[in-house]
């Protein structure tokens, strides 16, 4: 099956799998580089107002255990392994965009839009480089050495490679590892810049050349861990620091009188 190395159609209908869904509340935020961010790139501009409806997002990255269950259910064969050991509660890696999208589809969800991802990652803290403040710290995230590109440890971060998901405190929406551990695929394609002006529930570009990953990883130096960073990457690319997290539309609430 081509699932692990290239494009594949949705392999099976949605299955019953227990995923740690969190409902992200509706709200507005400022998307893009925060003021004073000297590392800001053109693709992160202009900073603009975005209003979003509520949606569900996984509290953690997709795990090795979850991906293994998916692979077995759809007969995809074992997922690619990195060259370091991973326990079942570590984040799945070596996911192509297509494999990530197929997993989320199978699980009854979808990949988050970039706006959903950044809104969820900021968790109500506009104007900061990270949800907890402006300083990247190993008390909140698993990331790499200051010199590109190798893993590093310190403080709460005792992992050279991937850490078990949820090893660090959640943000104020209850989401773990939005910064660091593994990059996370989002829906849509990279653009050279954001459109001007406020937007409501923006849908991603539906055509393009490269897909987008967000959040940085265990391998990356601090500059690319900033919440506004958009990393372009081939949809067929897969490396040992690329994973995913699924979103889904909020289920209709049962209304009672
Ligand atoms: Ca580390
Ligand atoms: Ca992550």
Domains in the chain (CATH in brackets) are: 20-252 (3.90.1580.10)
Q: Residue 46: pLDDT above 90?
A: yes
What is the mean pLDDT of the segment spanning 174-188? 97
What is the mean pLDDT of the segment spanning 112-121? 98
What is the 142 CA–ligand 1 centroid distance (Å)? 4
**What is the pLDDT confidence band of residue 102, given thresholds at 50, 70 and 90?**
very high
Q: Residue 13: pLDDT above 70?
A: no
| 48-52 sheet: strands from edge to edge | 27-31, 48-52, 199-200
Q: Which ligand sits nearest to residue 142's alpha carbon?
A: 1
Q: Which ligand sits nearest to residue 144's alpha carbon?
A: 1
Position 84 scores a pLDDT of 97
Write out 206-256 in H/E/C secondary structure. Answer: CCCCCEEEECCCCCCCHHHHCCCCCEEECCCCCCCCEECCCEEECCCCCCC
Residue 221 to residue 216: CA distance in whole angstroms:
8
Four-CA torsion 210, 215, 218, 221, nearest 10 degrees: 90
What is the 60 CA–ligand 1 centroid distance (Å)? 17
Q: Which ligand sits nearest to residue 161's alpha carbon?
A: 1
Return the percentage of the chain with pLDDT > 90, whole number. 86
Residue 134 to residue 34: CA distance in whole angstroms:
10
* Count of other CB atoms within 10 angstroms of residue 120: 24
Q: Which ligand sits nearest to residue 242's alpha carbon?
A: 2
What is the 103 CA–ligand 2 centroid distance (Å)? 17
What is the 216 CA–ligand 1 centroid distance (Å)? 12
Q: Residue 40: pLDDT above 90?
A: yes
What is the 82 CA–ligand 1 centroid distance (Å)? 16
pLDDT tens, position by position, 53-66: 999 999 999 999 99
Residue given tokens 């869904």 in the structure block: 21
Q: Are 214 and 121 in contact (CB under 8 A)?
A: yes
Position 9 scores a pLDDT of 56
Position 5 scores a pLDDT of 80
Residue 119 to residue 113: CA distance in whole angstroms:
10
What is the 162 CA–ligand 2 centroid distance (Å)? 10
Cis status of the peptide bond prior to 60, with omega within 30 of 0: no
């Amino acid at each position: 099956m081509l699932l692990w190395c290239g494009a594949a159609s949705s392999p099976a209908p949605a299955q019953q799998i227990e995923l740690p869904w969190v409902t992200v509340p509706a709200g507005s935020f400022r998307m893009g580089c925060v003021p004073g961010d000297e590392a800001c790139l053109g693709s992160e501009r202009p900073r603009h107002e975005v209003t979003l409806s509520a949606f569900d997002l996984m509290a953690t990255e997709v795990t090795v255990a979850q991906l293994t269950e998916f692979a077995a259910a759809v007969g995809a064969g074992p997922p690619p392994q990195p060259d370091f050991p991973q326990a079942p509660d570590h984040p799945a890696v070596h996911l192509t965009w297509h494999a990530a999208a197929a997993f989320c589809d199978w699980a009854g969800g979808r990949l988050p839009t970039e706006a959903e991802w950044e809104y969820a990652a900021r968790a109500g803290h506009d104007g900061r480089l990270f949800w907890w403040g402006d300083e990247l710290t190993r008390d909140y995230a698993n990331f790499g050495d200051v010199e590109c590109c190798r893993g590093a440890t310190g403080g709460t971060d005792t992992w050279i490679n991937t850490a078990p998901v949820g090893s660090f405190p959640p943000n104020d929406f209850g989401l773990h590892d939005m910064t660091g551990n593994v990059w996370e695929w989002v829906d849509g394609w990279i653009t050279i810049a954001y459109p001007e002006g406020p937007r409501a529930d923006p849908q991603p570009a539906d055509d393009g050349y490269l897909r987008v990953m967000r959040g940085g990883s265990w391998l990356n130096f601090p500059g690319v861990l900033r919440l506004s960073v958009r990393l372009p990457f081939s949809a067929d690319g897969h490396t040992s620091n690329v994973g995913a997290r699924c979103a889904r539309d909020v289920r209709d609430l049962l209304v009672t009188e």
